[in-house]
Amino acid sequence: MKEKQVKEITNRDDDFAKWYTDVCIKAELVDYSSVKGCMIIRPYGYAIWENIQSELDKRFKETNHKNVYMPMFIPETLLNKEKDHVEGFAPEVAWVTHGGEEELTERLCVRPTSETLFCEHYANVVKSYRDLPKLYNQWCSVVRWEKTTRPFLRSREFLWQEGHTVHATAEEAKEETLKMLNIYANFCEDVLAIPVVCGEKTEKEKFAGAENTYTIEALMHNGVALQSGTSHYFGDNFSRAFNMTYLDRDNRVQYMYQTSWGMTTRIIGAVIMTHGDDHGLVLPPNIAPVKVNIVPIGKNDSSVLGASYQIAKELKLLNISCEVDDSEKSPGYRFAESEMRGIPVRIEIGPRDLENGTCVLVRRDTLEKREVEISNVTEEIIKLLLDIQQNMYLRAKLRRDDMTKTVSNFDEMKYLAETENGFIRANWCGSRECEDKIKEEAGITSRCIPFDENFEGGKCVYCGKEATKLVYWGKQY
């Protein structure tokens, strides 16, 4: 039975895309709906999102951000106010043209992002320097009319949070932009066990209307990069378009400086593709809706069942979420299910174990089994969960580092891009032309100009002229 269940997933190395979709469906994270390109997030998938929300929201509130809710519609004239922004988004928005039986006098787009609404609101409510900064965030769904869609990674509707802040000075706004990027990076590393490269987007890749876009870039198991969170500095760009002014201490009219930053349900795709294996999902304990799954073995053995529920009770007292799978399915089937769902630790316990006062712990990250004393099981599990969380991060980081290569000329770059996936580190002169050519000829795009690495000078990988920046390049989702 176990064989059968597992065989229903495509092997990860045979067809990564199909493996990914199989895991999304078989682990019951999502289901398709009759609305093309829109997914149903099922209870298990949504529980992961709730954990992500709760961890991020805690960090936002600790840094004095407040949640609000803006309308889901944006009137066309409002969307059109900032030129770059509308050019970036108009081609992919859904338009509401009728309300009830009447045609609207002005069509409304379903928000693809809410900069314009926040701008209008800030213009209304901020009068003086005393009202600044405003640090708002909203949790909502947004719509972008994508042509090709995939669960979590690219769907016409997705869930996200969007932070929008306004400040009295450019310095303060820039500081906010980087502070939020750091929160995203730490969240990915500490909670999701996903290592990320923090950096700045090139002019070409930045957000529509932004002055600077910062990003965290993760590398999936197949070596394809995933932009996992972005933070934008707008300067006073929108402020001028939306007339967002305030009176400073000297009673002079000034423009506000603005930021926005967002993370989406796409990050669940990153968790799947960073950690998952041929048995299914592998969840880092810090985000797992169920941390421990107990499988009693031996039908109708009331002492085994009793011991299982006793362990569950002790774990729950320690706030460790736990499920006992006492269904009628065979042990092998239940093992396979618990692996498919990526539950960090499984406890197997049968009559023989119980006689010896032991049970078996199986860790999901390595599938390693170990016998422990039942009397010690809660302590062992606490240690094991910490170890799994750490091991998953280290393993992902080693793999990422291993798949990050440095090249010094375009032949190397092109060869590498054609033969394997991963991050390619290469110098760049800063010209849009070279960036376009690299995409055209090597099929890779600039992911970011990394923060934590010194640019040591050298030549542009494409044109050979003096380089100005070190850039991470790669294939991307």
67 near a copy of itself, rule: CB under 8 A:
yes
Cα–Cα distance between 135 and 66 in angstroms, integer? 6
Nearer to a copy of itself, 122 or 423 (CB): 122
> Cβ contacts of residue 398 below 8 Å, gap of 6+?
none
Nearer to a copy of itself, 65 or 201 (CB): 65
241 near a copy of itself, rule: CB under 8 A:
no
Q: How far is the CB of 53 from a copy of itself (least distance, A)?
A: 11
108 near a copy of itself, rule: CB under 8 A:
yes
Nearer to a copy of itself, 140 or 463 (CB): 140
Q: How far is the CB of 126 from a copy of itself (least distance, A)?
A: 12
Q: What is the CA radius of gyration of the chain?
A: 25
Classify each residue of 62-101 as buried b or exposed e, where b means 16 or more C-beta atoms within 10 Å of its C-beta: eeebeeeebebbbbeebbebbeebbebbeeebeeeeeeee
403 near a copy of itself, rule: CB under 8 A:
no
> Cβ contacts of residue 56 below 8 Å, gap of 6+?
161, 183, 187, 263
Q: Which stretch binds a copy of itself (CB under 8 A): 7-15, 65-73, 178-186, 269-277?
A: 65-73
Contact with a copy of itself (CB under 8 A) among 6, 78, 347, 381: 78
Cα–Cα distance between 39 and 445 in angstroms, integer? 28
For the CA atoms of 336, 341, 345, 347, the dihedral, rounded to the nearest 10 degrees, stands at -40
In degrees rounded to 5, what are phi and psi of residue 203?
-50, -40
Q: How far is the CB of 81 from a copy of itself (least distance, A)?
A: 11
Q: How far is the CB of 203 from a copy of itself (least distance, A)?
A: 25
Q: Which stretch binds a copy of itself (CB under 8 A): 69-77, 182-190, 218-226, 245-253?
A: 69-77
- Total chain residues near a copy of itself (CB under 8 A): 52
For the CA atoms of 60, 85, 72, 112, the dihedral, rounded to the nearest 10 degrees, stands at -80
Contact status, residue 196 vs residue 274, Cβ threshold 8 Å: no
Instruction: Please report how the helices 377-402 and 266-275 are oriented relative to each other, as an axis angle in degrees rounded to 10.
Output: 90
Nearer to a copy of itself, 23 or 74 (CB): 74
Contact with a copy of itself (CB under 8 A) among 3, 14, 62, 97: 97
Contact characters 283-312, a copy of itself, x per CB under 8 A: ------------------------------
Contact with a copy of itself (CB under 8 A) among 13, 17, 18, 71: 71
Cα–Cα distance between 209 and 227 in angstroms, integer? 18
The residues in 12-41 that bind a copy of itself, with binding defined as CB under 8 A, are: 31, 33-35, 38-41
Find, among 168, 156, 228, the residue nearest to 195 by Cα: 228
Task: State both tokens at 108.
Answer: 């409304």
Q: Coil, helix or strand for 345?
A: strand
110 near a copy of itself, rule: CB under 8 A:
yes
Q: Which stretch binds a copy of itself (CB under 8 A): 9-17, 64-72, 188-196, 399-407?
A: 64-72
Nearer to a copy of itself, 189 or 248 (CB): 248
Find, among 450, 476, 446, the residue nearest to 461 by Cα: 446
Q: Where does this chain bind a copy of itself (CB under 8 A)?
A: 31, 33-35, 38-43, 46-47, 49-50, 66-75, 78, 91-101, 107-108, 110, 117, 120-121, 124-125, 136, 140-141, 143, 145, 156-157, 159
